[in-house]
Chains A and B, each alone.
Chain A
Amino acid sequence: MAVSSLKLSRRDFMKVTAAGVAVATGLLRYAKNNNFIKKAEAASVEEAKKEGAELVKTVCIYCAVGCGILAKVKNGHLVGIEPWVNHPINGGKLCCKGASINHTVTSPRRLRYPVIKRNGKWERISWEEALDTIAKKMMEIREKYGPDSVFFAGSAKVSNEAAYLQRKFMAFWGSNNVDHQARICHSTTVAGLGNTWGYGAMTNNFNDMRNSRVIFFLSNPAEAHPVSFRHIFEAKQRGAILICADPRFSRTAAVSDIHLQFRTGTEIALIWGIAHEIIKNGWYDKDFVEQRTHGFEEAKKVIMQYSPEVAEDITGVPASLIRKVAYILATNKPGTIQYAMGATQHEYGSQNIRSFAILQLLLGNAAQPGGGVNAFRGHDNVQGATDMCVLSHTLPSYYGLSESAWKHWANVWNVDYEWLKSRFQSKDFMEKKGFTMSRFSCGVLAGTDAFPVCEDLTIDQPNNIKMIFMWGHSTPALGDLRYVKKAFESVELLVFVDPFVESGAALADRPDGIILLPAATEFEGSGSVTNSGRQIQWRNKVIDPLYDSKPDVWILINLVKNLDKYDAGIYRKFTKNYGYKTPEEITPEDVLDKEILVGARAIGMIGQKSSRLKKQQDYDYTFDPEDCRAKGGPCDGEYWGLPWPCWNEEHPGTPILYRNDIPVWEGGHDFRVKWGTEYNGISMLSGINGHDQATVDDVVWSKNLETDYKEILDQNMVPSGRGRARFYAWNMKDTVPVHREPIYTPRKDLIDKYPTYDESVYGEFHYRVPILSRVLQQACKKVNLADHFPLAWTSGRQVEHQGGGAGTRANKILAELQPEMYAEINPKDANDRGIRDGDLVVVVTPRGLEYGAGVAKVVCKARVTDAVPPGLVFLPFHWGGVFQGKSYLDRFPVIDDMDTRPLVAGDSANISNCPGWDVETQMQNIKSGICDVMKFIEFKEPSGLEETMDIIMAEVRKKMKG
C-alpha cells in the first residue's frame, strides 16, 4: 500500500500540525460561545420573565447523554421548554425527543388514575385499594408459593433513589427475581469491560470525545444519541477521522469518512482482523502492553488466526479496507471506540465488548483523554439503575450475592443479616441468581401446556412465577414477545407502574388480573440521574404530579407500608435509616445521602452529596465544556456531575477511568485489582506504581463504612488498587474472544468452523432456566433453515422514538414526525419479491419453531432503501399496539375522560427475534437472525415447515431430557 511508505512522513507532519490544530481549537471554542448564543440564553430568560413564567433546570428523560433542558413553567403548568445554553454537556443542543419533551409530560394519553381490569373491563380504583390489593396478593403468593414466585421488573427510567429502593425492596421481600432494562441493554458491557479492567462502564465521557483523533463507531449514535454529535463534530473539526462499522448505511455512516459494512453479528472477526494487522506490523503500544496489561501472548495466539483475509470471508468487509482502518487507528492517537446495542445484544455480546477493550489496550488508547471505550447507554438513568443493581445477580454497587455482600448491605440498612436471610426461601436462594428480563417468561410457563415444549421445561426453583411487576419497563423491548404474551396471560396478577399504559398491559389478552398504577414522569419529581459518562446530575421537580399520578419513590414506600399490614414490622425496618418517616416525608435526598452514598463504595459513589450536585447546577456556567471541569467559582476544580469514583466529599470525581498520569486527587485512577495480585506467578499489579487494593483498619476498602480514604489518596494511591488490565480473562467462558456464528445464520458453511456455545457451557440452569444454543444451530444446519429464510434480520432504533415507545408514541409531535413502523429492505430483495416502497409486507422468521408455535410474523410497511445491503432486513423495535398484524388498541383502557391509546401504533419487531442468550449475562440476541419478507396480500404460511419444526423440536426435547 502506498500509505505505508508515507508512514513516517505522515506521522511527523501530524506532529507539526498538532500545534496548528491547538491554536485553531482555541479560536473555535470562542466561536462556539459566540455572542449570538449568549444572547439566546439572555433573551429566553428575559422573555420568560416578562411572560411571568419560570425556567426550571432539569434533565432530559430520554437517552443517556444527560442533556440539560430549561422547563418553562407558568402558574404551575408546564408550557414549553427552552435550551439550557450553559449546560456543559449539551450546551442547549437537543434532538427531536428532547425538543418536544413537554408534550410527552403533558400528553393527554397519560394514565390518569389507578385502574384494574375486572371481567374484561377497565375500572377506576383508588390508590389505597390498588396498593392494598397488590400487597394482599403478594402475601398470598408468598404464603402459597414462596417469595420467589414474584418477579419484579424495575426501571432505568426512574431516579437513582427509586432504582435503589426497588432493589432494596426485593432484598427485603426475600427474592433475587428482580431485573431491569440493563439486562437486555448493556449487561454484556458490565461483564465484558468489568472483566477486562475492573469497572463495566463508559470509560470517558461525551465531552471528552472532542479530544479524539479517530472515532470508531460500532453503533448508530446519529439516531440513538444525536446530541453526542455536538462533541463528535467538534472532534471532526479538529481533524478527527470518523470510521463507522455498521451493517446498514446508517445516518452515522453518512457523515463518517469510512464505512465498514460488515455482516451482522461478526464484530469479533472484524476487530481481530484489525488487531491482527496492528500486531503483525508491530504498531501496538509495547510499553503500555508491558507495564499495564496481562496476558498479551494468549490473546495474540487467538488474534493471529484472523488475518484480514479470514476476516473478509467472515464479515464481508474487504481486507484492504480492514488494513486501511488498522493503519488509521495505529497512526492517529488517541482514538476512541464507541458502541451500543448493536454490539451488546448477542449471545457472545460480552466477548464483542472484550474485543473492543482489547483493541484499545493494544493501541495504548485505554485510560487516556480522547481514548477509552465509550459505551453509549440507552436510557436517561440506565447507568444509575445498573449501579444500583436492579439486577438479579448482584446487590447495589456490584457487590454480588455472596454472604459477605449481604452482610455489607445489612450493615448499611441497619438490619440483622439473620433477619434478611429469614426473608428468603433459604440461604441457597439468597445467593442464587434470579430470573432475568430475557427469560423470566420461562419461569411462568415451565411445566404448563402453553406451548408444546413447555411441558419438558424445568426451572431452578420450586414454584413458577405467579405475579409480575413491570415498573417502568417496556414490553416491546423484550425478545420473543409471543412467549412473553403467553406468560403475561398465565400469571395470577400483573402490575404495571408507568406514566403511560405500557403496551404489555394491553398485549395480555385476559379479562382480569391486571392493575395499572400511574407513575409521575421524571419531570414531576426530583432525584439524581447518572448519565452514560457516570456524571450524576440533580433533576429538579418541574411541576406537581399531573392527574392522580404519584412519584415512584412515593409508590414504592407506600407499597411497603401496605405490606406492613400483613407482614408487620417491615415498614420500620425499611425506613430505619430515614428516621421512620411517612411516605410523604421521605425525600430522594434522604435516600441518596443517608444510604446510597454510605453503601455504594465499590464503585466509589461516596462523595456525590445532593447538596454538591445542586450547587453544581447553580454554577453551571463555571464548567468548561472542554473537560467538564469548573474553573474558579464555588465548584472550583470539580468535574461536572462528580463522575464516580468520587472518593469523598472533597474529591472532584473521576471523569476518565484508569488514567494514571494525574494525581488521584485530580481525578487519577488505575486498573482495578480485582482478580488477586498474582496469576500463575505473574504479578497482576501495575508495572508503574502498582499496589494492591487498600484496606482500612483491617477491613477491605469497599466494605469499610467509616473511612473517607483521605490518607490513601494523599499517598496518591487508589483504594481499588493499581493493577493490570487483562487480555486473558481466565474466569470467562471464552478466555479470549473468538468468532462464533449466530445461532440462526445465513452462512451455514461457517457453522462447523465457528460453532456457537455448547449447552454445557451454560450449565444445567443459567439464571434459573435451561438455555439452548448449539442444538438449535445444529438443527438449523440440518434442516437448511437458511434456505427457507434467506435474508438476515436485524433491529434498531428510530431517532423519534425511544425504548418501547409508550412515551414517544403518545407525544403528538413525535407521532407526527415518525408515524410508522416499517421494514427496511434493499431494492434488489424487494424487486425479487415484487415489493414496492410503501407496500404492506410480512416479515417471517423461524422464531417459535423451537417451541412449537410456528413461524413468527411481523406485519408492517416496506421501506425500500439502499441503506440496507442486499440480503439484510432492518426493523425498528419501538412499536406496539399491533400484534402479528392484529391491532389490540381496543384493549387499552378508555374510561370516560381518559383515553390511553398511543397516538400511533405498529407491530413489534421483537416478536420475531431469533434465539440466543449471552453466556455470561443471559443478554438476549435481538440483532442477528434470519427471515424472509413477503407481500401481505400474497402471504400464506410458509409450507413444508411443519416437518422442519418437528425435527427442531425433537432435537430440543432430546436435549432437555438428556
Chain B
Amino acid sequence: MPLKFLVDTHTNLCIKCKACEAICKNYNEVPTGIYRIKVISIKEGEPGQLNIPMPCMHCTDPPCLKVCPMNAISKRADGVVLVDKDKCIGCGYCAYACPFGAPQFEGSGAFGSKGKMDKCTFCVQPYNQKDDGRLITKEPVPRCAVVCPTGTLLGGEITEINREFRKRVNSYMSKGLIESMFMV
C-alpha cells in the first residue's frame, strides 16, 4: 500500500513549533533557503488562525510527474515521488503544476537562475538514487511526522494513518456535539 502524508487541518492542531522544518533540515541536510516542509499560517493572529505544515503530498497522480519534460520525476512502487537530479534541468514546470508549492529551487525566485528541483523525499536516503536496478527495500520513515508533537502531520502507510485520522475526527465530532448541545 502506498505511503502518504496526511495533514490534519480538520481540527486546528498545529502550534507552529517548526519541529518538522528543523528535523527535515537536520536529517536531510537541506541547504539554506530550501524548505522541503514549511508551516504556513492562515489568518495569523486572529481567531480562527490555522497553521498548516506543507510537505510534498506524494500524490497518487502527481501533476509534477506529468509535466516534467525530462521525465526526471518518478513515483516508486511504495508511493514515494522522487526527482532524479541528474535529469532535472531546473525548468520549473513542476512548481507551476504542483498545487502545494512543494518543489523548491536553490536559486532565487521562480524566474531566476533556479538550480535543480529539490523536494521532500519521505526521508529516502541517499537522495540521489542512481538507476542501477537496485530496489531500496528499507522502509522510509519521514522524520517530520515522527517528531510532530501535536500529531498534525501523519505520515506512513495510507490505511494506517487513515484509521488514526478517522478516530481522531470522531472524538472531536462528539466533543463538538456536546458543546453545541450545551452551548459551552
Contact = CB atoms under 8 A, between A and B. Distances in A.
A229 B168 CA distance: 15
Contacts of B49: 249, 251, 254
B22 A100 contact: yes
A828 B131 CA distance: 58
B149 interface: yes
A93 B150 CA distance: 8
A35 B22 contact: no
B149 A229 contact: yes
A806 interface: no
B18 A96 contact: yes
A255 B18 CA distance: 16
A233 B160 contact: no
A3 B184 contact: yes
Nearest to A101: B26
A40 B141 contact: yes
A537 to B, nearest CB: 18
B162 to A, nearest CB: 12
A230 interface: yes
A241 B148 CA distance: 22
Nearest to A232: B150
B184 A83 contact: no
Contacts of B133: none
A17 interface: yes
B86 interface: no
B171 interface: yes
Interface stretch (A24-32, A281-289, A474-482, A540-548): A24-32
B167 A28 contact: yes
A954 B17 CA distance: 48
A99 B171 contact: no
Contact of B17 (A3, A20, A39, A226): A226
B113 to A, nearest CB: 21
Interface in A461-488: none
A230 B184 contact: no
A749 B33 CA distance: 51
Given A81-B26, A99-B23, A222-B16, A31 B178 contact: no
B148 A93 contact: yes
A3 B168 CA distance: 27
Interface string B6-19: 00000011111111
A92 interface: yes
B21 interface: yes
B124 to A, nearest CB: 12
B22 A814 contact: yes
Main secondary structure of the interface of A (DSSP, over half): helix
Contact of B171 (A24, A102, A252): A24
Nearest to B172: A237
B160 A36 contact: yes
A251 B183 contact: no
Contact of A99 (B22, B51, B141, B178): B22
Contact of A255 (B12, B46, B182, B184): B12
A606 B32 CA distance: 48
Interface residues of B, number: 49
Interface string A224-248: 0011111001000111010000000
A223 B146 contact: no
B4 to A, nearest CB: 12
A80 interface: yes
Contacts of A239: 171, 174-175, 178
A100 B26 contact: yes
A13 interface: yes
B148 to A, nearest CB: 7
B151 interface: yes
A34 interface: yes
A937 interface: no
Nearest to A7: B182
B26 A103 contact: yes
Contacts of B148: 93
B26 A80 contact: yes
A128 to B, nearest CB: 38
B23 A31 contact: no
B44 interface: yes
Contacts of B59: none
B51 A866 contact: no
A817 B21 CA distance: 8
B27 interface: yes
Given A241-B184, A254-B49, A31 B147 contact: no
30 contacts: A3-B184, A9-B182, A10-B182, A14-B178, A31-B164, A37-B146, A39-B139, A81-B26, A83-B147, A94-B23, A95-B18, A96-B17, A96-B23, A226-B15, A230-B151, A233-B151, A239-B171, A239-B175, A249-B49, A255-B12, A255-B13, A259-B47, A799-B16, A799-B18, A812-B32, A813-B22, A813-B26, A814-B22, A816-B32, A868-B45
Given A3-B183, A233-B151, 13 more contacts: A2-B183, A36-B161, A83-B147, A95-B18, A100-B26, A102-B26, A223-B15, A233-B150, A237-B168, A249-B49, A254-B15, A812-B32, A866-B46
Closest 7 CB pairs of A and B: A867-B45, A226-B17, A96-B22, A222-B15, A99-B23, A866-B45, A254-B49
